[in-house]
Amino acid sequence: MRNILLLLAFLPLAAFAATTGTANDTVKPQTHQYVQRDGKPLLMDVYLPSTPRADSACVVFLFGGGFVEGSRNGEWVRNYCQLLAHHGFTAIAIDYRLHLRDVDFDTVTLLHTQHIFRDAINIAAADCAAAIAFICRNADAWGIAPNRIVLCGSSAGAIGALQLDYCRTNNLAPADELPANWKPAAVVAFSGAVYADGGKPSYNTPPAPTFFLHGNKDRIVNFKKFPPILRSGLYGPKKLHKIFEKNNYPHWFFVFDGIGHEVASLMIPMNGEVEAFVDKTLKHRQMFYDATVRDSKVVPTKWTTMGVFDLYKGK
């Protein structure tokens, strides 16, 4: 299982390494402990740009890896944060607890799997909330505007970012450590979803403007919902898009046609679109964008045919 999750974290991005034009590794991050959980420190790497954006915007990034693997300082995360810093953002990559690291999925039932996924997601969201609180306390020193912090994540990290904003709008416990009245300027989710108990998600107050990027063949973070037969579970972007549309919540919805979980690795190739979304959002443009994407460099691989149980059982 560990080997396959490491492949998930690193291999898809490699296909784009020759064409993405990532910035050189020139910004040495500052590493800070932002909280201690279960007797262990959680760290963040802060990449301060040499030429900051005029709006003092910050991107907080949550890595992927199925809540089992991944790292805030893995090569692909460093490359993305370097690119963001090169473009003037303060980029911050954070640790969060990997609740599924020691779970043997060969021995658990579907219902039990659902519960442990819920716990893993809420734990990641709670850790992200603590990270935001720490960032806001240090915002002046780092040249960050607290109201211009963007949450961004890949796969499990995208789920954590979306979940934190969902919990914030509903006053749920994982968001308890957020500063009072804080909300993200935007959320960017590469193959993310929201966990909701007892039925489809609802937002008591409007969520942040959100950019969903997802493959419509994704069965690892399901494009629609998982498990499909239970009311509680992970609601993917197709379901969330309908909720956002119905309630007139600003969002961009990019569907990669015929593609699966490969989209989780497209942060660098899609950075131009992400920056356009962030720029317009920070200028208070309320935008709604529904696009079907076909890209000659984004092609199906085994990550399109693989399902979530294949992933965790290491098939």
Q: What is the DSSP letter of 219?
A: B
Distances (CA, A) of 206 to 77, 168, 244: 30, 10, 9
CA gap 309, 315 in Å, rounded: 8
CA gap 2, 33 in Å, rounded: 26
pLDDT surpassing 70 at residue 43: yes
Q: What is the chain's mean pLDDT, rounded?
A: 90
Give 166-179 pLDDT, tens digit per residue: 999 999 999 999 99
- Strand pairing partners for 200? none
Helices marked H in 155-270: 156-169, 237-246
Token pair 């963001």: residue: 84
Which H/E stretch holds residue 187? strand 186-190
Give 168-225 pLDDT, tens digit per residue: 999 999 999 999 999 999 999 999 999 999 899 999 999 999 999 999 999 999 999 9
Q: Contact, 32 vs 73, CB < 8 A?
A: no
pLDDT surpassing 50 at residue 13: no
Q: What pLDDT shows up at residue 7?
A: 38
Tokens of 120: 């893993």
Q: What pLDDT shows up at residue 305?
A: 87
Q: Contact, 125 vs 134, CB < 8 A?
A: no
CA gap 221, 155 in Å, rounded: 7
Residue environment code for 148-160, b if the CB has 16+ CB neighbours within 10 A, otherwise e:
bbbbbbbbbbbbb
- Domain architecture of the chain: domains with CATH: 2-312 (3.40.50.1820)
Token pair 């799997």: residue: 113
Q: What pLDDT shows up at residue 179?
A: 98
pLDDT surpassing 80 at residue 32: yes
- What is the reported pTM? 0.92
Side-by-side strand order, sheet with 233-235: 194-196, 233-235, 225-226
Tokens of 22: 């990532």
pLDDT surpassing 60 at residue 292: yes
